Amino acid sequence: MQNTVKSAVRFTGTGLHTGAPVTMTIHPASADYGIWFRRSDILVGDAMIPARWDVVEQTPLCTRLINSAGASVSTVEHVMAALAGTGVHNVLIEIDGPEVPILDGSSAEFVRGILEAGLAVQSVEIRAIEILKPVTVTRDGASATLVPSNNLKIDFHIDFEDEAIGIQDKSLTMANGSFVRELCDSRTFCRKSDVDAMHASGLALGGTLENAVVVDGDDILSPGGLRHNDEAVRHKMLDALGDLYLAGAPILGKYTGVRAGHALTNALLRELFMTPGAFRIVECDAHTTARLPGAGVHLAEIPAVA
């Protein structure tokens, strides 16, 4: 059955790119409501923004949602990954600014807040998107692919010049709480040269060495170093899970990303929904639900380092 949170969950922090303080609250919602953001600071006009693939604005650095009235919310991928990874289907997310708080740069604090509040089981079956045939998009040497699979699997390959990152590959099945155990604490990362360029362009104003892994050649500049030797590729998988959840339902299929980013994953969803016969909507029985992200997760599974 579908789930929502038992009680409201509040987060306060700073926007990664705006550098502005922000408060965000995840509220319970009724069955079949889906996931919506509401900009509480917008007093005139439409402040409701659906967490959906077709309102994504193409940006290279984060996932930004914008409604027809121009109201937007950005950097939604980490909280979307947390909702997907804990099996939450219906919530209203109230936020008093244009950007989700970055917190520690991962999804761990969102996951902890959701699991501490607990989940409320609802009276409507989960509907999932079953992939029926391969769909691929490519761009500038990067690719993203969905193929049929009986559960959500994520394979990812990255290749960076910086020796601190280098070439990394990882594959995980997103069932049995693997997101919470393996991915949720992996932080966003960037190169020092990129940080300098973003600062010069007025971006990443809220970025610090505490909420991102910053590398310079073979050096890790962030205090304490890495949480995982392959933290970079784990974070790319986290991002992919969050971006895929903008499909509007859990996906039953295998996602493969090769140097893929937010824009390419969104392009993949657009290609999926434009391709006749590429998917079908299925109602999930207990056996299928057990294979979805978030099934059977526990608070104790969050890595202690986070």
Determine how many CB atoms are found less than 10 A away from the CB of residue 199: 12
How would you list the strands of the sheet with 48-50, edge to edge?
Answer: 9-14, 21-28, 91-95, 35-39, 48-50
Q: Write the Ramachandran bin of 196: left for phi over 0, alpha for psi from -120 to 50, otherwise beta.
A: alpha
Cα–Cα distance, 92 to 78 (Å, whole number): 16
Q: Select from 77, 72, 80 the least CA-distant residue to 55.
A: 72
Task: Write phi, then psi, for 79 (nearest 5 degrees).
Answer: -75, -35
- Whether 199 is a known active-site residue: answer no
The alpha-carbon radius of gyration of the chain (Å, integer) is: 18
Neighbours of 70 (CB within 10 A): 9
Cα–Cα distance for residue pair 71/77, rounded to 1 Å = 17
For residue 186, what is the DSSP state? P
CA angle 9, 58, 69 (to 5 degrees): 65
Dist. CA 227–CA 305, nearest whole Å: 7
Give me the half-sphere count of Cα atoms (radius 13 Å) on the Cβ side of residue 18.
15
**The residue to which tokens 């902890």 are assigned:** 112
- Beta strands 91-95 and 35-39, pairing class: parallel
Distance CA 183, CA 82 (A): 10
Catalytic residue among 17, 89, 157, 262: 262
Q: Dmax of the chain from CA atoms?
A: 52
- Residues taking part in catalysis: 262
